[in-house]
Amino acid sequence: MILVGCSHGTADPDGRATILAILARIAEARPELDVREAFVDVQQPEVADVVRRAVEEGGADDGAPVVVVPLLLSAGYHVHVDIAAAVEPWGARAVAAPALGPDPRLVELLDERLDQAGALPDDAVVLAAAGSSDERATADVERVAAELARRRRGPVTVGYGSAAYPRVPAAVDAARASGARRVAIASYLLAPGFFHDRLQLAGADTVSRPLGADARVVGTALDRWAEAVRPVLVHDLV
């Protein structure tokens, strides 16, 4: 069984190492899986090429399809277009799993990362996501913000790195204008890189670490794989 972990791609060495660590932990948790990496931008190999090679090598010969698991936190263009296009030519031999978020485990991890960064329970929080022009992706982020707000005493709003509004610095300024004495940024990013570096310049009192190769990220990714592969296997048994 082949699991293709597809991330955005980054030029940042620490970001690349983080994604590799997530893939390694997935493989460690499920040693029967052939775990491969793929990207939608910046890095190679491209997801369409990885899927093609996996199918042509007989990746679906055991009855299970090649499954692309987006190592992406919301379902925007890369999920609905890039990854969808990579699996579409192969019918039941290749399928795409849902994005990692929203998921309660990721919200729990965000809350924990805020505490680790020294955020206080009453701090205003800006949930900082990469951003997408796809309304489905922004809706996913808003759902995560609403769940995080249930765990915090202070207000939780959303800011984006690109493609959507408000941008993170504007969201931090708005939180202060609303009377917040302190503002914390919750980095809703998987790995270090360009977007996370910019969060340090957004004017907050503290910025949490990216989610990283935490066991909850790995567990979510494996659950997404299971969600995608189960209907195909059940169909084959009927």
* pLDDT the model gives residue 238: 36
Contact 44, 7 (CB under 8 A): no
**pTM of structure:** 0.93
* pLDDT the model gives residue 182: 98
Taken in order of first residue, the domains within the chain and their CATH numbers are 2-100+214-237 (3.40.50.1400), 104-207 (3.40.50.1400)
Amino acid occupying residue 151: R
Per residue in 58-82, pLDDT (tens digit) is 766 667 899 999 999 999 999 999 9
Per-residue pLDDT at 236 exceeds 60? no
Give 231's pLDDT tier (boundaries 50, 70, 90).
confident
Per residue in 20-49, pLDDT (tens digit) is 999 999 999 999 999 999 999 999 999 999
Write the CA distances from 6 to 67, 73, 127, 153, 202, integer angstroms: 10, 11, 23, 35, 29
Write the CA distances from 135 to 84, 128, 176, integer angstroms: 17, 16, 27
